[in-house]
């Protein structure tokens, strides 16, 4: 699900046209915008004049005593050819073909698609050039980019397989997970949540993947606002997709965990009178799961710089050094204005691998400690030897038992009267990528 605010479609009053050309003509019925439809009418008087002209020309061309007949006009020849090729109605009348109209519609649709593709290509090219200007010619990010390409190719066999998930039960409303993907605030995409979505769908859970603007199309404020609007859409519309609006859970991974946590704290502050109200309530979120996230940006600036996310570009993403504290949930909860907001927060559960070099596990540990000190319900699960992407990518691709997903599904289905024994019994997932490819991917991973 591309999470954006619902679009409003305005239909013109001229969006429906019915034109009767003559008694032997078909009725043209078109639906669409007025700008897409062009109809040329011919008055009955003009039609009779045209017929009379044809009859006069035909009579003038026939003269007794002459064996030679002049060739028909091009218009008459075309009409004759069309009449011969066109099918006949049961009463002998000729059915007029609508091929030209369909061709015009297809051509118009094709032009729109080409225009849309050209606009998107131009946008991506422009954003790429802007990003390259920020990155410069430093060797670290080039090395990381090449490693990312190799890493993606090694895991690709697991992503190109059949992702069709048939629900085992269609009765009753299902619990819902709103997922926010990571991507270093630059390469995030909702499709990265496909593995998590498949595994949770097998457990009877609906997953809505929220998209947001990446840098340089947007900065951290835009990303938090996009995610907040995505959560709002899920809360207000998930019932139409079979979800239970009273059982919604928020999950974020890496940069997505940071953005989702910011959106959660912003909403809690709004409901305490700090800012404008939003179209969703924090009480609708039953729990928040953060996977391999960073929650104190002040501690991560130099760390990211050493790993290729240079200080200049990171500060540009975060809207300047003065905004680092504002977008650091671990820091903001210590402010006096945040005390009442903390009481509104749902249960917070964090997951982190101890061998995570992209974002150290101490980030999650410090965040949980700060939450508990201020009275929030928070828990931490550490996984020995797991890297930044093991919990989210390699482990689901490896198949077998997935401890982190078992914890998430266990919390969601806890005391759920509608949860069947089939959903409570965790299925054994099949392997999607050979082990040697996963091992090699782990070695070349830039994360």
pLDDT by residue (tens digit) across 249-286?
999 999 999 999 999 999 998 888 765 666 888 999 99
Q: Residue 210 burial by CB count (10 A; 0-12/13-18/19+): exposed, middle or buried?
A: buried
> Alpha-carbon distance 127 to 124, whole Å?
5
pLDDT by residue (tens digit) across 297-354?
999 999 998 888 889 889 999 999 999 999 999 998 888 677 788 889 999 999 999 9
CATH numbers and ranges of domains, the chain: 121-444 (3.40.50.1820)
The residues that bridge with 291 in the sheet, in sequence order, are: 253, 351
List the one residue out of 360, 297, 288 whose CA is nearest residue 331: 297
pLDDT by residue (tens digit) across 396-418?
888 878 889 889 988 998 766 66
pLDDT-derived band at 6 (thresholds 50, 70, 90) equals very low
Please say if 162 is a catalytic residue.
no
> Alpha-carbon distance 78 to 244, whole Å?
63
- What predicted TM-score, i.e. pTM, was given to this entire model? 0.68
Residue with tokens 């890493």: 151
Q: Around 271, how many Cα atoms within 13 Å sit in the side-chain half-sphere?
A: 19
Range in 231-240, 277-286, 414-423 with the lowest mean pLDDT:
414-423
Active-site residue identified among 258, 388, 413, 423: 388
Please say if 388 is a catalytic residue.
yes
On the question of pLDDT at 13 being above 50, the answer is no
State the helix-helix crossing angle for 139-159 and 435-444, rounded to 10 degrees. Answer: 160
Q: Around 288, how many Cα atoms within 13 Å sit in the side-chain half-sphere?
A: 29
On the question of pLDDT at 197 being above 50, the answer is yes
pLDDT by residue (tens digit) across 37-96?
333 344 444 444 444 443 444 444 444 444 445 555 554 554 454 444 445 555 555 555
pLDDT by residue (tens digit) across 134-154?
666 566 677 777 887 887 888
Active-site residue identified among 228, 254, 292, 358: 254
Active-site residue identified among 211, 356, 390, 395: 356
On the question of pLDDT at 213 being above 90, the answer is yes
Please say if 423 is a catalytic residue.
no
């Amino acid at each position: 699900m591309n999470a954006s605010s619902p679009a409003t479609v305005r239909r013109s009053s001229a969006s429906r046209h019915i034109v009767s050309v003559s008694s032997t003509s078909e009725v043209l019925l078109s639906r669409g915008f007025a700008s897409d439809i062009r109809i040329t009418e011919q008055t009955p008087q003009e039609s009779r004049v045209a017929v009379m002209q044809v009859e006069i020309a035909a009579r003038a061309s026939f003269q007794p005593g002459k064996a030679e007949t002049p060739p028909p006009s091009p218009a008459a020849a075309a009409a004759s050819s069309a009449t011969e090729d066109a099918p006949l109605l049961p009463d002998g009348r000729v059915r007029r073909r609508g091929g030209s109209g369909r061709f015009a519609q297809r051509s118009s649709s094709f032009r729109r698609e080409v225009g849309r593709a050209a606009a998107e290509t131009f946008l991506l090219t422009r954003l790429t050039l802007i990003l390259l200007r920020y990155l410069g010619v430093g060797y670290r990010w080039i090395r990381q980019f090449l490693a990312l390409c190799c890493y993606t190719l090694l895991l690709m066999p697991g992503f190109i397989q059949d992702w069709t998930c048939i629900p085992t039960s269609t009765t009753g409303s299902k619990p819902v997970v709103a997922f926010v993907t990571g991507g270093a605030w630059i390469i995030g995409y909702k499709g990265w949540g496909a593995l998590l979505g498949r595994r949770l769908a097998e457990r009877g859970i609906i997953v809505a993947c929220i998209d947001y603007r990446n840098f340089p199309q947007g900065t951290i404020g835009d990303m938090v606002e996009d995610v907040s609007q995505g959560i709002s859409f899920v809360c207000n519309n998930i019932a139409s997709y079979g979800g239970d609006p009273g059982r919604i859970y928020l999950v974020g991974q890496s940069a997505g965990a940071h953005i989702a946590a910011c959106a959660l704290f912003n909403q809690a502050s709004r409901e305490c009178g700090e800012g404008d109200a939003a179209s969703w309530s924090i009480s609708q979120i039953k729990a928040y799961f953060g996977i391999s996230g960073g929650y104190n940006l002040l501690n991560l600036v130099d760390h990211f710089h050493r790993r290729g996310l240079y200080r200049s570009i990171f500060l540009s993403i975060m809207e300047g050094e003065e905004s680092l504290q504002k977008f650091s949930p671990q820091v903001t909860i210590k402010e006096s204005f945040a005390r009442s907001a903390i009481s509104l927060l749902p249960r917070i559960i964090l997951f982190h691998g101890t061998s995570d070099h992209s974002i150290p596990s101490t980030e999650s540990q410090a965040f949980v400690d700060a939450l508990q000190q201020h009275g929030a319900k928070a828990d931490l699960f550490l996984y020995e030897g797991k890297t930044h992407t093991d919990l989210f990518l390699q482990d689901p691709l490896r198949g077998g038992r997935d401890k982190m997903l078992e914890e998430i599904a266990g919390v969601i289905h806890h005391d759920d009267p509608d949860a069947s024994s089939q959903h409570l019994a965790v299925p054994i997932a099949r392997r999607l990528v050979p082990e040697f490819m996963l091992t090699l991917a782990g070695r070349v991973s830039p994360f």
